[in-house]
Amino acid sequence: MARYQNPVRIVHYLNQFFGGMGGEEMADLKPQVKNEPIGPSKKIQELLGTDYKIVATIMAGDNYFVEHKDLALQKVMAFVKKMNPDIFIAGPCLCMGRYGLACAWICSRVSRELGIPTVLSMSPHNPAFSILPPDIYFVPAGETIRDMKNDVRQFSKMIDKLRQGQRGIIDTDGAFLTGKRGNTLVSANGATRAVQMLVRILHDEEAGSEIPIAKNNGIRSAPPIADLSTARIALVTEGGIVPLGNPNRLRSARETRWFRYDLPLVEGEMARFQCIHGGFDTNYATIDFNRILPVDTLIGMEKSGGIGRLVPWYFVTCGNLVSVKDSKQMGSEIVRFLIQDQVDGVFLTST
């Protein structure tokens, strides 16, 4: 069992919103630290009791972190090392993609450089969830602030388990499996557990596994287009550009559908479109959709012979808070139409 200080010292990372600094207007906030619990940290401290002490809360803006990753990590790590924690925690970051990325990067760096347990709470639908490394402990969070009360409770349970020495594969209280292997004392030996598992299988019951095997699906790149000057090119975007009024009610987040619309190929049609994406300020994209859907650039390439032809329609969804599973499903559906229309290549834009 790891040796912890008394009380156990914890450092908590929050974004600018949960740190009480503001919303999107403070998304460029540089990392800063306060030597006290802030926001969700206060409830976690209350639940953990006097055996633990949240000695610092580190905060940074979501935009700052994703735009200045290396510098942000350097500053945060300096804060963490100075506070000498036993455990580092981040979140809950719910379904917030930029916040999730920052939490994952920090936790991975802390775990690797300091060798202390790191605990991250996020929703499995968070876009960052699919890229997380196995050196972090995960606790499932809900998708909205309404779930925060339960999220914080589960978070506290996991922290307490780590202090008690349960640092192998933790699959109780809803914790995500990390894939890490470790030794722990159990009531039955391996042979007995194997027979018990076999009996469950024979009775068509869920058998489970003590050592889950990660499944990594590689993506094979398509061969290059031999001659772009004769190629049919289509536009596909997850940027939420839709006809004015959003006729099919494309959702601004957690979307599982996509739509095909005619491209605005005639000058002056810009006012007939809008951006409904929920992950950024859409004003500039609504003023000029070419910022997301670069019709002007591709028309210019067509006229200059850079591409053969721009097909007169585009596919659109909203990628904000969309899971990898749903993204794959939508992509496979769109591809069938692209093949049917004999499209040679796709210009895919993302926010």
pLDDT single digits (tens) 319-337: 988 878 788 889 999 999 9
The answer, yes or no, to whether residue 1 has pLDDT greater than 50, is no
Count: domains in the chain: 2
CATH code, domain carrying 128: 3.40.50.280
Quick check: is 191 in a domain? no
pLDDT of residue 144: 83
The answer, yes or no, to whether residue 241 has pLDDT greater than 90, is yes
The answer, yes or no, to whether residue 192 has pLDDT greater than 80, is yes
Task: Judge whether 112 and 35 are in contact, CB under 8 Å.
Answer: no
Quick check: is 189 in a domain? no
Quick check: is 133 in a domain? yes
> What are residue 156's phi and psi, to 5 degrees?
-65, -35
Quick check: is 295 in a domain? yes
Question: What tokens appear for 33 in the block?
Answer: 């630290």
Distances (CA, A) of 265 to 85, 166, 262, 299, 346: 58, 61, 9, 8, 17
Confidence of residue 130 (pLDDT cuts 50, 70, 90): confident
Quick check: is 14 in a domain? yes
Quick check: is 282 in a domain? yes
Residues 156 and 243 in one domain: no
pLDDT of residue 61: 95
pLDDT of residue 86: 93
Q: How many CA atoms lie within 13 A of 63 on its CB side?
A: 12
Task: Judge whether 314 and 260 are in contact, CB under 8 Å.
Answer: yes
pLDDT in tens, 62-100: 999 999 999 999 999 999 999 999 999 998 998 898 999
Query: Which residue carries 């018990």 as its tokens?
Result: 196
pLDDT in tens, 134-158: 778 888 888 888 888 888 998 888 8
pLDDT of residue 313: 94
Task: Judge whether 14 and 39 are in contact, CB under 8 Å.
Answer: yes
The terminus-to-terminus CA distance of the chain in angstroms comes to: 45
- Among 235, 228, 232, smallest CA distance to 309 is for 232
Residues 153 and 299 in one domain: no
Q: Which amino acid is at 105?
A: W
Residues 154 and 271 in one domain: no
Residues 143 and 25 in one domain: yes
Quick check: is 193 in a domain? no
The answer, yes or no, to whether residue 180 has pLDDT greater than 70, is no
Quick check: is 201 in a domain? no
Q: 306: domain range?
A: 228-349
Residues 158 and 286 in one domain: no
Last residue of a domain, one of 129, 163, 197: 163
Residues 157 and 261 in one domain: no
Residues 13 and 157 in one domain: yes
Residues 235 and 124 in one domain: no
d(CA 276, CA 289): 11
Last residue of a domain, one of 113, 138, 163: 163
pLDDT in tens, 18-47: 999 999 999 999 999 999 999 999 999 999
* Number of neighbouring beta carbons within 10 Å of residue 52: 22
d(CA 301, CA 305): 6
Residues 12 and 158 in one domain: yes
Residues 151 and 252 in one domain: no
Residues 264 and 129 in one domain: no
pLDDT of residue 326: 86
Residues 32 and 154 in one domain: yes
d(CA 154, CA 141): 8
Question: What tokens appear for 350 in the block?
Answer: 């993302």
Last residue of a domain, one of 163, 190, 219: 163
